[in-house]
Amino acid sequence: MLEVAPHVRDLGSSGIREIVNLAEASSRDIARLEIGEPGFRAASHILDAGRVAATRSTGYTHSAGVLELREAIAAGLLRRYDWSVAPEDVIVAQGAGQGISAVLSALVQPGDQVLIPDPAWPNYRMLTRLFGAVPVPYRLRAEDGFLPDIDRIAALITPRTRAIVLNSPSNPTGAVFPRELVRRIVELAAARDVLVISDEVYDELIFDGEPAHAAGFGTDNVVSVFSFSKTYAMTGWRVGYVVAPRWLAPTLAHIQEPLLSCISAVSQAAALAAVSGPQDDVASMRSAYRVRREIATAMLEPVVPFRRPDGAFYAMVALAPGVDSRLAALDLVEAGVSVAPGSAFGDEASDQIRISLASPDDVLVTGIERLVAWMASTDRGLAMGALHQDSASHRRSITANRG
């Protein structure tokens, strides 16, 4: 009898999606703080470009992306970082995740290893397993400001290590890695013949610090990953891109053809308008997220251990030590606020939760008020089992949504 491949059976699932599905199915008034969905619409010139393209440009495009878009992306990188990139080294992808998928498909074989942050966006782990490789976590400890320790990374590298994933600004922690630290990791990887996959999708959502710009250190072992989703509030358009060294870029362009033929021409037209048009909305959204960071800080810092994020639009909130963040997240839905459990991002944050600052101000305030009230009533989660021990509905909700 035919069977699903073992590495796919072991893929795991997203603990974030579990909460998303539960919140969407609930009849309660839920303040949604669990998902990184910008609380803005894409700018009008982006929407207009998409409308026009839908009536004129709905055919196939080059597998690596429309040349005009790739040229505009290269021009944007030159403007932002003084980074001169050839358009042929830019590969347009169906979101950053698919771009990372293309990179891994080109590089890893079953049994190879990929170093990923812990905590980190869960898709790194899932994508690594999808190609039969082994995800090896490196710790980002709260007491270290969620920054990597280069000596620990060096100790994890083996002859089977093919790539190190960096993510700054970080999802879920909001940490921005110092440029000197990024440089040292890139140089370590180059010395050990390892690729760096630098996920920089939040590069224009930084409040304190500098963009990682890992490729700016002059080595030939960095693939940079970007997205239109967060910067331009274009999550549903599904457009991202990777910038690869010359030895890898043609392979990635070729891989795109069997993977997806090409990206939607309509979405690419909207992306072209985004990157080449006015950037005022990007600055406005960043300012709004900065205000929300201050709101969250003022409400949470007096109550719980809380580290103000330097970038992205997420913040980690500590539960009591040892509390199961998944059970806490399920319980919080009952309390009227949805959050992402830290366990969805790895082991290091298993007793923390992530809140999104992308939600509108009123939703954020309501959600944090409910979170603070829950923290007080459960002693930061320690007492939630006692409070609900006799609640059949609570037990059913946990059983029904166990991932």
Tell me the pLDDT band of 380, cut-offs 50, 70 and 90: very high
pLDDT at 397: 47
Rounded to whole angstroms, the Cα distance separating 198 from 190 reads 14
Could you tell me the sign of the dihedral formed by the alpha carbons of 180, 184, 185, 190, in that order?
A: positive
Reported for 296-301, long-range contacts at CB under 8 A and 24+ positions apart, including other chains, are 296/355, 296/357, 296/364, 296/368, 299/365, 299/368, 299/369, 299/372, 300/368, 300/371, 300/372
Quote the pLDDT of residue 218. 78
Q: What are phi and psi of 96, to 5 degrees?
A: -65, -35
pLDDT exceeds cutoff 60 at 112: yes
pLDDT of 388 above 70:
no
- Tell me the mean pLDDT in the region 319-335: 96
Task: Give me 13's structure tokens.
Answer: 């699932």
Residue 43: pLDDT above 50?
yes
Confidence of residue 156 (pLDDT cuts 50, 70, 90): very high
Instruction: Cite the residue boundaries of each domain of the chain with CATH code 3.90.1150.10.
Output: 6-32+281-400
Section 206-230 average pLDDT: 95
The amino acid occupying position 331 is D
Where do the DSSP E strands lie in 200-319?
A: 222-227, 240-243, 314-318
Q: What is the pLDDT of residue 278?
A: 96
The conformational region for residue 43 under phi > 0 = left, psi -120 to 50 = alpha, else beta, is: beta
Lowest-confidence segment of 58-62, 137-141, 397-401 by average pLDDT: 397-401
Residue 374: CA count within 13 A, CB half-sphere:
25
Using pLDDT thresholds of 50, 70 and 90, give the confidence band for residue 354: very high
Q: Which CATH class is domain 6-32+281-400?
A: alpha beta
Contact 391, 322 (CB under 8 A): no
Rounded-to-integer distance, Cα 302 and Cα 214, Å: 36
**Cβ count near 18 (within 10 Å):** 20
- For residue 58, name the pLDDT band (cuts at 50, 70, 90): confident
pLDDT of residue 5: 82
By DSSP bridging, strand 195-199 and strand 161-167 are parallel
Confidence of residue 356 (pLDDT cuts 50, 70, 90): very high
Q: Taking the alpha carbons of 360, 366, 367, 369 in that order, is the dihedral positive or negative?
A: positive
Residue 241 pLDDT > 60, yes or no? yes
Helix, strand, or coil (residue 139): strand
| pLDDT at residue 20 greater than cutoff 50 | yes
Measured distance CA(357)–CA(345) in Å, rounded? 17
Q: How far apart are CA 161 and CA 134, in angstroms?
A: 9
More confident position, 7 or 237: 237
77 within 8 A of 85, measured Cβ to Cβ: yes
Looking at CATH, the fold of the domain delimited by 44-276 is given as: Aspartate Aminotransferase; domain 2 (3.40.640)
**Average confidence (pLDDT) over 332-353:** 96
SS (H, E, C) 20-55: HHHHHHCCCCCEECCCCCCCCCCCHHHHHHHHHHHH
pLDDT at 124 over 50: yes
- Is residue 403 scored above 70 in pLDDT? no
Taking alpha carbons only, the member of 360, 355, 348 closest to residue 313 is 355
pLDDT tens for each residue of 251-264: 999 999 999 999 99
Q: What is the pLDDT of residue 401?
A: 44
4 pLDDT exceeds 90? no
Residue 235 half-sphere exposure toward CB, CA atoms < 13 A: 10
pLDDT in tens, 298-317: 999 999 988 999 999 999 99
Determine whether 286 is exposed, middle or buried from the number of CB atoms within 10 Å of its CB (0-12, 13-18, 19+). middle
Round to whole Å and give the CA distance between 209 and 182: 12
Q: What is the pLDDT of residue 14?
A: 77
The reported pLDDT for the residue numbered 385 is 62
Residue reference for tokens 């979101």: 95
Cis peptide before 119 (omega within 30 of 0): yes
pLDDT greater than 90 at residue 384: no
pLDDT at 11: 76
The pLDDT mean for the chain works out to: 93
Amino acid at 223: V
Q: What's the whole-number mean pLDDT along residues 129-146? A: 95
Q: Among the listed ranges 8-12, 173-177, 247-251, 302-306, which one has the minimum average pLDDT value? A: 8-12
Mean pLDDT computed over 352-366:
96
Residue 138 — pLDDT band, cuts 50, 70, 90? Answer: very high
Instruction: Quote the DSSP letter at residue 144.
Output: G
**Residue 3: what pLDDT?**
83
- Give pLDDT, residue 54: 95
- Let me know: does 127 contact 105? Beta carbons within 8 Å: no
Ranges for all domains in the chain classified under CATH 3.40.640.10: 44-276
- Quick one: pLDDT at residue 2? 83
What value does the mean pLDDT take over residues 359-377? 97
> Among the listed ranges 9-23, 147-161, 251-265, 323-337, which one has the minimum average pLDDT value?
9-23
Q: What is the pLDDT of residues 271-286, one digit of tens each?
A: 999 999 999 999 999 9
Name the burial class of residue 2, with classes exposed (0-12), middle (13-18) and buried (19+) by CB atoms within 10 angstroms of its CB.
exposed
Sheet with 161-167: strands ordered across: 90-93, 240-243, 222-227, 195-199, 161-167, 113-118, 134-139
H-helix segments, 82-121: 96-107
Please answer whether residues 172 and 342 qualify as being in contact, where contact means their C-beta atoms are separated by less than 8 angstroms.
yes
